[in-house]
Structure 1
Amino acid sequence: MTRTPLFGLLTLGILLASCGSTPTATAPTPEASAPQTPAPVTAREYVPGEVIVQLAGGLGAQGLGALEARLGVQSLEQLAVVDGAALLRTRVTDGQSVEGKVAQLQTSGAVRFAEPNWIYQHQATATDAQFTNGTLWGMYGDASTPANGYGSQAAEAWARGSVGSDSVYVGIIDEGYQFDHPDLRGNVWLNPFDPVDGRDNDGNGYIDDTRGWDFAGGDNSVYDGGTRGSLDAHGTHVAGTIGGTANDGGVVGVNHNVTMISGKFLGRRGGTTADSIKAVDYFTDLKTRHGLNIVATNNSWGGGGYSQALYEAIVRGAKANILFIAAAGNSGTDNDAAASYPSNYDTTKDAGYDAVIAVAAIDKAGALASFSQYGRTQVDLGAPGVAISSSVPYNKYASYNGTSMATPHVTGGAALYASTHPGATAKQIRDALLGSVVATPSLNGKTVTGGRLNVSGF
C-alpha cells in the first residue's frame, strides 16, 4: 500500500483492545537519513520536559556533553546508535516548553531531528466476563463446526493439519501477558541465551530477560497482574488470540503451536515512544544476533504524532524480515484523511517493501465495526474484532471489542503461514496474507484489499 505521512492533528490514546503499541529496528538506509518534517506539537500527549533527539552524523552520546549548555538539554539515556550517531532521550534544562525546544533543536545544526517523547495508551474494555461455547467466532470458517464465514477461517486450516509450529516466533509489543495462564504456558518463550543468574549473558543490555523484557518498568517481570489479574489483561487477551493452546478447555488461538515473546512497554500510565523503540529493537536484535525466526510483532496500540525515531526502528525490523502488524484505531475515522500512527507508517522507501500491515475490525456479520478506523490507501484488510473471546488474567477468559482484537488474528495468520512455508520472507508473508483475503462489501473502498482475513487461503 502507499502510505503518505499526514502531519495534521491526531487524537492521542492507545487503541489497545482498540489498538496497539510501538516499534524498533536496524540501521536505516542512506535514504532514511533525510528525515521527514515532523508533525506540529499540538493537542497530543507527551512526557513533560522530555525530547527525543537524533544527533547529527558522527556525534556520539559523549558529543552531546559539549553541546548541552548551549542546547539546553541533558541526556537521560541512549536509545540506539543509528548511522554512527546517538539517538537519545533527553530532558529540557533551560525551562523552555517541549514545543519550543523541538523547534530550537531543529534549527541548531547539531541534531538530525528532535521530537516529543509521545505517550501511548490503551482502551480495552470487557463486554463478557466468561467464555462460553460457540462464542469464538473469530476462529471459525464457513465450513467449520460451528461455522461463520466472516471468521478468520483458522478452523479450516486446522482441519488440513496446519496448526502452527514452535519454531515460529512472534513478538508481542503491548502490555505484558500472563505467561503461566493455562492457555498460554505451552507457547511461552524461555530465553536460552540468558539463564537466570544475575548476569547479562547474551550482551543485549537486559539481565535475565527470561521471557522478554518490561521496558516500562525496566525489569524482567513481563507480567505484573498477580493472582488478582489487576494488570496486563490487554496483552494477555492479545496473546490468547495469537497462540492459545488447543484442547485444554479454554480458548484456542490461530496457532495451536507458536513461540511468543513479550516486549512490554505499556504500563499503568501507558507507554512512551522511547520505550516502544527499545521494544522494537529488542526483537530485531534477537533475530539478527541469535537467528530466532521472529516473523512479526503484534502492535495493538496507537496515539501520538509522527515519530521519525519510531519509524526508523520499524525500518530496522523490516530489514531483518520482521512484519509490524498494527491496529488501525478505534475512533471510527478515515486514516487517509487524518493519519493514525503507528499503523500509517510505510517502510517501502527505506526497506524495499512495506512491513506495516494495518488492520480494521469487522463483526460476526461481516460489517465494519462502528468504532473501527479505515482507509482506502492506509488500512490493508479487516479481521474479527467485535465480541472476541480470549484469555485474561488470572486464568480467566473475557470478550473484548477493538481493532486491538482484530490485529492478533492477522499476526496469528502470519505465523501460521510461516509454519507451512519455512524460509518465507516478510514480504512473501505479507503478500500471502493480503492476496488471500475474501472480498467483503463493508470493506470495499474502506481498505486497500477490500477484503477480510482468510488464513485457510494460502
Structure 2
Amino acid sequence: MKRTPLLGLLTLGVLLGSCGSGPSATAPTPSAEAAAPSSPVTSAPVTAAGQYVPGEVIVQLSGSLGAQTLGALETRLGVQSLEQLAVVNGAALLHTRITDGKSVEAKIAELKASGAVRFAEPNWTYQHQATASDAQFTNGTLWGMYGDASTPANAFGSQAAEAWARGSVGSDSVYVGIIDEGYQFDHPDLRGNAWLNPFDPVDGRDNDGNGYIDDTRGWDFANGDNSVYDGGTRGSLDAHGTHVGGTIGATANDGGVVGVNHNVTLISGKFLGRRGGDTANAIKAVDYFTDLKTRHGLNIVATNNSWGGGGYSQALYEAVVRGAKANILFVAAAGNSGTDNDVAASYPSNYDTTSAAGYDAVIAVAAIDKAGALASFSQYGRTQVDLGAPGVAITSSVPYNSYASYNGTSMATPHVTGAAALYASTHAGASAKTIRDALLGSVVATPSLSGKTVTGGRLNVSGF
C-alpha cells in the first residue's frame, strides 16, 4: 500500500522538457464535493525544486467562504481570480493571478497567513513521460501485446494476445479517459473507438450543462475549446496522446497496430499543450470525467495519466479523490528519471486515495523492456510504484495516420489502463477496487522488479 502524503508539500523537478508558462483556459467546470475536511491544510514552504506557472496560485477558500470573499482578497492580498475550478465542501477552489508583483512563494505565505484560505499552492507544471526511439503485430513489433503462448510470443509482454485468443477483446460499453495531449480521433486505428458525445450535439449550446459547449470528443483544457486534436494533416501536435490511445484501444485487423482492447470507448481530456500542462487544467480534466460518470452514467473505469512533474498539490489530490469515489481508477506513469519514488516523491503517481476514498485508486506504473529488465530510465519504488509493464520500443499510432516507436513510463501506463478496461469488459459492474485488486493480484513475479515495486511483478492480462 502506498503511503499517502496528505499533508506536506513535497517537490520534484519536471522530468522531461521545460515547463509551460502560459495562462490556463477559462472554461468553467462543474461543482464537485470532496471528502477532505474544510479545515486549513498545513504545508511546508515551496522550494525551487518543482516548476510552476509564474505569477499564478491555486487557492481554496476557508470553510463556507464563497466567491463573494474574492473581492476582499483581491484588494487586500493582490490576487485576481482567473476561474473557479470547483466548489469543495461549499467553498470555492480558485485559479488566481498575482497582481502585486510578489513571488509565488511570498504570495502563498501571505495567503496562508490571511486566515481566509484553507490552502494555497503553486500551479505546478507537468510534462508527458515519453521519449521517441526510432504495421506491426505479426512481424514482432508489438511485443508489449504478446504472451508466452501467442504467435509471435514474448513472455514479458502484457499477455493481451492470450486474452484475445479466448475471446476477451474489450467492449464499447467500457469508457477510458485520456488525460494527456489530445489524440487524432479520426486515425484509421482509433476512429472506431473514439467517443462521440450523445449529450451535447454540435449546435453552439451547452446541452449537457457541464460548462463546455459542443464537447463532442471531449475537451481541450489547454486551449479552452472543443478541438481535442490540433495536429492537422501534418501531425505536428498530439502525437503523445495519440500513441497512448493506440496502446489502450487501437482497433484490430485493419493493417496497423492493435491495442490491449479491440473494442473500447476513448474520451479525450486534453490538458498538455505545446509547453506541457498545469495543475489548474489537470484538475478540470479529472473533474470532467468524474462529472460524465456521476451525472450521465458513463461506464468510465479509468483515466490514463502518462505525465508528471511539479510537486504535491492538495487541489489535484482532492480531484483524484472525487474520481476515486466515483469508481474511476487513476493510472499514472512512475516517471522517467531513473530514481526511487520512495525517496523523492513523484506526482501524480505517488498520490494514495485510501484514507479519503476507502481504497487506493492510483496505480503507479514502471517500464520494462522486452527482456523483462526494468528500463534504465524508469522510476521505481518498493512502496510507491505498483507494477511494471512494457515501456521500451513500443509501437503505436501517431498523427497523421501513422505509427511510431516510443520509450517511456508513458508507454507502460496505457498497457495497464487498457488492462483495467479489458477486465471491466468481462466483469460487468466490477468496482474500481475490484479491478485494481485483479490487476495487481495477477502479476507475474519478475526479478528486475523485486524490491523495486509493490507487487514485484509485471502486468499479466492472460486471465482477463
**TM-score normalised by L of structure 1:** 0.95
Asked whether the equivalents of residues 8 and 39 of structure 1 are also in contact (C-alpha less than 8 Å), the reply is no
Residue equivalent to 1:2 = 2
Shift of 1:352: 0.5
Aligned amino acid, residue 73 of structure 1: V
Shift of 1:62: 2.2
Q: Describe the shift of the 1:102–1:271 C-alpha distance in structure 2 as closer, same or farther (beyond 3 A).
A: same
Determine the C-alpha separation between the residues in 2 that align with 1:106 and 1:71: 11
Alignment RMSD (CA, Å): 1.9
Output one character per residue of 1:415-441: Cα deviation in whole Å (capped at 9) or x when no partner: 000000000000000000000000000
Q: Describe the shift of the 1:454–1:316 C-alpha distance in structure 2 as closer, same or farther (beyond 3 A).
A: same
Residue equivalent to 1:297 = 303
Shift of 1:124: 3.2
Output one character per residue of 1:236-263: Cα deviation in whole Å (capped at 9) or x when no partner: 0000000000000000000000000000
Residue equivalent to 1:11 = 13
Determine the C-alpha separation between the residues in 2 that align with 1:323 and 1:435: 16
Aligned amino acid, residue 367 of structure 1: A
Residue equivalent to 2:26 = none
Output one character per residue of 1:272-304: Cα deviation in whole Å (capped at 9) or x when no partner: 100000000000000000000000000000000
Residue equivalent to 1:45 = 51
Aligned amino acid, residue 95 of structure 1: G
Residue equivalent to 2:422 = 416
Q: Describe the shift of the 1:286–1:309 C-alpha distance in structure 2 as closer, same or farther (beyond 3 A).
A: same
Q: Name the SS of the counterpart of 1:261 in structure 2.
A: strand
Q: Name the SS of the counterpart of 1:128 in structure 2.
A: coil
Output one character per residue of 1:8-44: Cα deviation in whole Å (capped at 9) or x when no partner: 441213599xxxxxx9994222547553525623222
Determine the C-alpha separation between the residues in 2 that align with 1:373 and 1:315: 24
Determine whether 1:169 maps to 2:183: no
Determine the C-alpha separation between the residues in 2 that align with 1:412 and 1:275: 24
**From 426, 437, 450, the counterpart of 2:456:** 450
Give the length in aligned residue pairs.
Answer: 452
Determine the C-alpha separation between the residues in 1 that align with 2:10 and 2:53: 20
**From 349, 355, 363, the counterpart of 1:357:** 363
Q: Describe the shift of the 1:321–1:24 C-alpha distance in structure 2 as closer, same or farther (beyond 3 A).
A: farther
Equivalence map 1:306-325=2 (5 Å): 306-325=312-331
Q: Describe the shift of the 1:48–1:355 C-alpha distance in structure 2 as closer, same or farther (beyond 3 A).
A: same
Residue equivalent to 1:19 = none
Q: Describe the shift of the 1:200–1:427 C-alpha distance in structure 2 as closer, same or farther (beyond 3 A).
A: same
Shift of 1:131: 8.7
Q: Name the SS of the counterpart of 1:94 in structure 2.
A: coil
Shift of 1:308: 0.3
Determine the C-alpha separation between the residues in 2 that align with 1:297 and 1:384: 18
Residue equivalent to 1:337 = 343
Q: Describe the shift of the 1:30–1:76 C-alpha distance in structure 2 as closer, same or farther (beyond 3 A).
A: closer
Determine whether 1:189 maps to 2:195: yes
Output one character per residue of 1:295-336: Cα deviation in whole Å (capped at 9) or x when no partner: 000000000010000000000000000000000000000000
Determine the C-alpha separation between the residues in 2 that align with 1:107 and 1:376: 38
**TM-score normalised by L of structure 2:** 0.94
Asked whether the equivalents of residues 15 and 329 of structure 1 are also in contact (C-alpha less than 8 Å), the reply is no
Asked whether the equivalents of residues 7 and 38 of structure 1 are also in contact (C-alpha less than 8 Å), the reply is yes
